[in-house]
Amino acid sequence: MMKSAALTIAIKRLPNALNNLCPTYMTEGSAGMDLEAAPDKPITLNPMCRAKVPTGFAIALPDGYEAQVRPRSGLALKEGITVLNSPGTIDSDYRGEINVILANFGDKAKTIERGMRIAQLVIAPVTHVLWQEIETLPKSIRDARGFGSTGASSKDNQYAKK
């Protein structure tokens, strides 16, 4: 398997991180790095509630990149805990602590403690665009039909491959 070149990103450990790991890829093929919680004291997240959970790290992304904060699939499936504004975006000019907005959609309270893996961090390139205003958009096979228009049965769906 060919590995891509690594991107070096400056990271600062804040006092509340103590012995927490830096964001870490858990397997060689992982796209996201696990983020650990670093609250000063445990946070009880009741059903249908949300909380801002600190990670104890700040980063300096290079221009042209963002960090995306995403849910951990196991935590979402087993506990109903997810990242509320998923994916959360960390811009390249932000230098504060990475925080994760967790929401509990499960039926039991969950205690978030220091060192618990709570989210994933994915580093991605950003494309900036220049808008070109025009009077009429070019035609497409789908045009303005949306919200379920591509999911219609092939018998009724003019977009389905024939």
pLDDT, tens digit (0-9, with 9 covering 90-100), for 84-107 = 999 999 999 999 999 999 999 999
Which burial class, exposed, middle or buried, applies to 94 when counting CB atoms under 10 A from its CB (0-12, 13-18, 19+)?
middle
- In the chain, where the domains are located: 10-125
- Residue 57: φ, ψ to 5°: -135, 145
Please say if the pLDDT value at position 162 is more than 60.
no
Q: Per residue in 60-84, pLDDT tens?
A: 999 999 999 999 999 999 999 999 9
pLDDT given at position 149: 75
pTM (2 decimals)?
0.83
CATH superfamily of 10-125: Deoxyuridine triphosphatase (dUTPase) (2.70.40.10)
